[in-house]
Amino acid sequence: MAALSPVKLSRLASASVGLVVFLLGITLSTVLLLLDYRKAHEEQARIFFTEVESVVEEFRLVLSTLNAQTTGRCDEQTMIAMRRELFLAEHIKDIGFVDNGQVICTTGVGKLDRHVEVGTPDYIGMDGLSVFVDVPLTLFEYQYSALIAFSGDFDAVFDLAVFDLLPGMVNDWEVVYTRDEAPVSVAGEKGLYRGQFAESGYRFSLTSQYSETCLPEYQYCLGIQSDFQSWLDHYRTLYLVFVILWFFIGVLVAFAVQKLIARTQSIESKVRRALRQRAFHNLYQPILDLKSGAMVGCEALARCHLSNEPLYPDQFIPEVARSGQTWRFTKLMIQQGLTELSAETALPDGFRVNFNLFPADIAAAYTRDFAKMSTVANSRFTLVLEVIEDQQLEGKQAQTELEWLKAQGYGVALDDFGTGYSNLNQIRDFQADYLKIDRSFIMDLEDGSIKSSLIPYIVDIARQLNLFVVAEGIENARQWEALRDMGVQYGQGYYFGKPMSAEALVRLYSQQARN
């Protein structure tokens, strides 16, 4: 499987972060809304228990009133009293008169042809009311499940279906009486109440939400259970807003992460990290005398390896110049190079070591700090400073600095001659010691290219100005011989040795010295 490119990896990483932010945001919003749904359960319980309190108080008031006013017989006076209380009641659907444990007349039917046995109540409430639950009744051909409360000579009937008609009762529920050891189901979906909390509580998951609320003064508890669909119906609009909001936040985060990755992976960022971490180092390419073949020096070439990722000179050199870090970078390379090479005792005193300078540093007079560096002041090598052709070197300040460097005993080489800002007057004003012919002149030397045909003229100009000529990019013996015959004094290139470590340079020098 082919490896993904850095661009695709950065896009994948930023998209992944954006997706994670979106999912975390949706998860957080879901949890918050699930927690908030407890309020819906609490509101449902409040409405329900308001109704329960009203029903219980009405039962108590109606039954106590009737027991206090009636004659103790199902006569006309008793029936009128029963019908008056039923008319005034809000919740009671029917009232019966009980004698010796049997219902003998009701407000709905009057005197019963067949008396109805009261039986054993399901529970006796704290107020002394005997309560029968889920009693099937028929009234005027209407069948319903009733709750009957009995006290003294009377009972009162309540239609349990009223609870389902209460506003807000959208979820499954069950109300139980909890005074006895085992809770008695009064109304709702039997078995739903779990008894998980002492008085009240709320537990939720993505698929269901469950709460319990109790009315201690009456010993009634209500269990409410809702599912994901009822939760979603409750928060549909708000949840959609959250989804859209977190989607845009995720997209923005993805773009921000991609921008951050791009900035982190940019050459600018890598150069800053490399300088901070001192990730730059030197490799050394041998410079040979073309007549004798002896190694007379080397050029220190900056390289960078940052976190197992190479950074090439054509990438970091322009960025160092653009960011204004040139002198900091140059000092670092000179200090490292001279420290490394000075430790190699096999290299002779006077061994020529070339370092590259930025024209901007010469024009800004930073080179005055060069001689103050301890590694430079104590060096046993002949130091040559290479400078590329540049318009910045035409100024008076740059000329003064170059003269000062020569006066301090440092060699000056005009690097990459023929590729930059070529100006014969500038070459003369440089008062350089060496002129380095760019590799592009050497590559096609054997084919007699136009560029290579200019080499003899360059050599002649250098001779007139008392400059030594160094040819770069020599890759084979024929090029070496041709350049030597043209009068080029020194050369470097892969034929003599690629850029190498200080240890490898010393081994090559020692090997040539023995031969």
Residue 390: CATH number of its domain:
3.20.20.450
Are residues 296 and 167 part of one domain?
no
d(CA 137, CA 332): 100
Report the side by side order of strands in the sheet with 201-204. Answer: 184-188, 172-177, 220-227, 208-215, 201-204
End-to-end CA gap in the chain: 50
Do 307 and 450 belong to one domain?
Answer: yes
Extended strands (E) in 191-276: 201-204, 208-215, 220-227
Give yes or no: residues 131 and 44 share one domain: yes
Continuous segment of H or E residues that includes residue 63: helix 6-69
Residue 133, SS3 per DSSP: strand
d(CA 99, CA 308): 100
Asked, for residue 139, whether it belongs to a domain, the answer is yes
- Whether 257 maps to a domain, the answer reads no
pTM, entire model: 0.56
* Domain co-membership, 224 together with 339: no
State the burial class of residue 233 (Cβ atoms within 10 Å of its Cβ: 0-12, 13-18, 19+): exposed
Q: Is 387 exposed, middle or buried (0-12, 13-18, 19+ CB in 10 A)?
A: buried
Same domain, 214 and 334: no
Burial string for 334-348 (b: 16+ CB within 10 Å, else e) reads bebbbebbbeeeebe
Residues 54 and 191 in one domain: yes
| 82 and 146 in a common domain | yes
Residue 117 lies in a domain: yes
Domain that holds residue 468: 270-514
Domain boundary, last residue among 229, 253, 282 = 229
Look at the chain and report how many structural domains it folds into: 2
User: How would you write the pLDDT of the chain (515 residues) with one tens digit per residue?
Assistant: 455 556 677 788 888 898 999 999 999 988 888 888 888 888 888 888 888 888 889 999 999 999 998 778 898 999 999 999 999 999 999 999 999 889 999 998 889 888 988 889 999 887 788 999 988 876 666 677 889 999 999 999 988 888 877 776 668 889 999 876 788 998 888 989 988 887 788 887 778 888 889 888 888 899 988 888 887 888 889 989 999 999 999 999 988 888 877 666 667 777 777 777 888 899 999 999 999 999 999 999 999 887 767 788 888 888 888 888 889 899 999 999 999 999 999 999 999 999 999 988 888 888 888 888 889 989 999 999 998 876 666 667 778 888 888 888 999 998 888 775 555 666 776 778 999 998 888 887 877 777 888 889 889 988 988 999 999 999 999 999 999 999 999 999 999 999 999 999 999 999 988 87
